[in-house]
A and B are shown apart, each in its own frame.
Chain A
Amino acid sequence: EDQVTQSPEALRLQEGESSSLNCSYTVSGLRGLFWYRQDPGKGPEFLFTLYSAGEEKEKERLKATLTKKESFLHITAPKPEDSATYLCAVQVNAGKSTFGDGTTLTVKP
């Protein structure tokens, strides 16, 4: 059975304090690993897709990396507007995605 585990559940940072979120996965036949951002009362919004170990993607203060067992979302010098829940998902077939429970990030000014 496909499994996705995210840690920590919650992360509180001061503005400018860099950190990383972890997503570990157990799947057979990974077709893609996705990161989404979810704001309160909204649907998840797509951030990145990673396909193979060693791949990296960047967008503003966020950088996602992938190994054979886990992915990291690195946040450099975060701002309060980066506060959100970050979801990791793996896709194996038929476009079906299995999601982790998310990491809720709070960035204090």
Chain B
Amino acid sequence: NAGVTQTPKFRILKIGQSMTLQCTQDMNHNYMYWYRQDPGMGLKLIYYSVGAGITDKGEVPNGYNVSRSTTEDFPLRLELAAPSQTSVYFCASSAGAGSSPLHFGNGTRLTVT
């Protein structure tokens, strides 16, 4: 099992450009999440999904969009990139809401200049 796979690993964007961060999981988990982690800080929830076709905002959703058309995939879209979006982005999945641990990918390191 690959677990949670994120692509790309690194990306540099210019201000105003757009991009999609890809995330796929092979554990048949219903719940998926996007977090961002700034240097020396914990993880902040951007968006999450409790199943295909259902998404909801987390703590820091501004400037991002998501979709969930399949159980496996949960892409994160950045529109009009800004320097404040420079961060490391982690995708995670879990088996359910009943106190299930999160399984993380290895992150995408994004720099906006």
Q: Which residues of A contact B (CB under 8 A)?
A: 4, 6, 9, 31-32, 34, 36, 41-46, 49, 51, 87, 89, 91, 93-102
Contacts and interface: CB of A to CB of B under 8 A. Distances in A.
B20 to A, nearest CB: 19
Interface string B13-35: 00000000000000000010101
Interface of B: 4, 31, 33, 35, 40-45, 48, 50, 56, 58, 90, 92, 94, 96-107
A97 B102 contact: yes
A93 B97 CA distance: 7
Nearest to B104: A43
A31 B98 contact: yes
A104 B39 CA distance: 12
A43 B105 contact: yes
20 contacts: A4-B42, A31-B97, A31-B99, A43-B92, A43-B107, A44-B43, A44-B90, A44-B104, A45-B104, A49-B99, A89-B43, A93-B97, A95-B31, A96-B45, A97-B43, A97-B102, A99-B35, A99-B42, A99-B43, A101-B41
A42 B33 CA distance: 16
Given A4-B42, A95-B100, A43 B90 contact: yes
**Chain A interface SS verdict (over half):** strand
A101 B40 contact: yes
A87 B35 CA distance: 14
A58 to B, nearest CB: 17
A26 to B, nearest CB: 15
Nearest 9 A-B pairs (CB), nearest first? A43-B104, A32-B99, A99-B42, A46-B101, A95-B97, A99-B43, A101-B42, A95-B31, A31-B99
Contacts of A36: 102
Given A43-B107, A96-B48, A96-B58, A51 B99 contact: yes
Contact of A87 (B31, B33, B43, B56): B43
B42 A102 contact: yes
Contacts of B103: 46
Given A32-B99, A51-B99, 17 more contacts: A34-B102, A42-B106, A42-B107, A43-B92, A44-B43, A44-B102, A46-B102, A49-B99, A94-B31, A95-B31, A95-B96, A96-B45, A96-B58, A97-B45, A97-B102, A100-B42, A101-B42
